[in-house]
Structure 1
Amino acid sequence: MDETECITEGRYGGTMPPIRVLLVDDHEMVLHGVSAMLSRFPDRVQVIGTASEPAGAVRAVTDDRPDIVLCDVRLRRASGLDVCRAIREVDAGAKVVFLTVYDDEQYLYQALRAGAAGYLLKRVDAHELVRHLENVSLGEVVIDPSLAGRIATSAAHLQKGEFWPGARLGLTQRESEVLALLVGGLSNKAIAARLVVSDDTVKTHVRGLYRKLGVRDRGGAVATALREGLFH
């Protein structure tokens, strides 16, 4: 018996059907590549369909009820985070796992807030990916090991009181991130793309930080940030 068979029997006792997976990505090569990768484990996982845009993903979830949706965090004309929320609106029990190249802790935090069951990087190998999918199917939340280590380090820093810039002025961590990008000269649309959120979400954060800083416009916010030495 090889290693793959051992894992299958250890987790399922040889009685559970393959995990049914829907793939969501706007790159056809990625869809084909991941499908081919998972096809090596027909007894453990089955790709039941693919989608390249949000409406198709939601429709497939409604029609086919996959066990897991494997989705990129950024799509060509949409945020994978919004897709995750939309999927969970039509199926509250849906398990969405992000498979992406973006190894940024903030994307991970946003994914978990959106209700994701996992966040993995595309460099994961086939055996690891299948094992993670099995863990998710058992109710676990999976995080790429490289990101998990950085999150632990960040948590340790917060325990020591090393908060984000602007915390003393009442800004949330996300408001501080938005303010830093304002200082960098980015437009609201560019900020939305950078943070993988909607334009309306950025506008809400901007209004919040304006109120907390006691300013009325972008120039006032930037001036206050520089005056207070929030960013160097």
Structure 2
Amino acid sequence: MSTGNAATLTGSRLPLKVLLIEDSAVIRESLSEALGSTGMLEVTGVAETADDAVRTLENDSFDAVIVDIQLRRGSGMDVLSYLHERGLLEKLMAIVLTNYALATYRKRCQQLGVQHFFDKSLEFDRVIEVLDEFATGRQA
């Protein structure tokens, strides 16, 4: 997570690394395109299942993670619990983007330390706004 220091030393702005945990190819493609178009964010990891997400998190570091609750196999809640247990939610921006925006999920995510919880049907664009603000703040 030294992108801020490297950016300062070189005078350029390096994109922040985002892990996208989403089982829908259409959503993955749409989010990857939108995030990449900012020039400050780049999807450098993708996972379709909870197990894939954990393996990816064990092998690479990220500045932010976008998690869907309902995955093809496993749950985004399992991934968030993994991040919480290892203290990683304190070190990266965590965003839940889901069609299952139920109060019980929202409350549990808040307890785990998730910074943002968005309804995929109503607040899709908020993900880009929040991450863009995060990237701007980290590289200012």
Q: Which TM-score bucket, shorter chain as reference?
A: 0.7 to 0.9
- What amino acid does structure 1 have at the position aligned with 2:130? H
List 4+ stretches of structure 1 deviating above 4 A. 135-139
With normalisation by structure 1, the TM-score equals 0.47
For residues 80 and 88 of structure 1, the distance between their equivalents in structure 2, rounded to whole angstroms, comes to: 12
With normalisation by structure 2, the TM-score equals 0.74
CA drift at 1:107: 1.6
SS of the residue 1:76 aligns to: coil
For residues 55 and 129 of structure 2, the distance between their equivalents in structure 1, rounded to whole angstroms, comes to: 27
For residues 39 and 135 of structure 1, the distance between their equivalents in structure 2, rounded to whole angstroms, comes to: 14
CA drift at 1:39: 2.4
Identify, as 1 or 2, the structure richer in helix.
1
CA drift at 1:99: 0.8
Q: Which has the higher contact order (CA 8 A, sep 6+)?
A: 2
For residues 43 and 67 of structure 2, the distance between their equivalents in structure 1, rounded to whole angstroms, comes to: 13
Identify, as 1 or 2, the structure richer in strand.
2
Q: What is the identity percentage for the equivalent residue pairs of Structure 1 and Structure 2?
A: 27
Task: Tell me, yes or no, if the aligned pair for 2:97 and 2:124 is still in contact at 8 Å.
Answer: no
1:209 counterpart residue number: none
Among residues 93, 96, 111, which one is paired with 1:95 in the alignment?
93
When Rg is computed on C-alpha atoms for both structures, the one with the higher figure is 1
Consecutive unaligned residues in structure 2, runs of 5 or more: 1-10
Among residues 111, 118, 127, which one is paired with 1:120 in the alignment?
118
CA drift at 1:16: 4.2
Cα RMSD between the aligned structures?
Answer: 2.6
Task: Tell me, yes or no, if the aligned pair for 1:97 and 1:119 is still in contact at 8 Å.
Answer: yes
Listed as ranges, the matches of 1:9-28 within 5 Å are 16-28=13-25
For residues 104 and 24 of structure 1, the distance between their equivalents in structure 2, rounded to whole angstroms, comes to: 19
Consecutive unaligned residues in structure 1, runs of 5 or more: 1-13, 140-232
Q: Deviations along 1:57-78, whole A, 9 cap, x unmatched? A: 1121222211011010222332
Task: Tell me, yes or no, if the aligned pair for 2:34 and 2:128 is still in contact at 8 Å.
Answer: no
For residues 48 and 132 of structure 1, the distance between their equivalents in structure 2, rounded to whole angstroms, comes to: 18
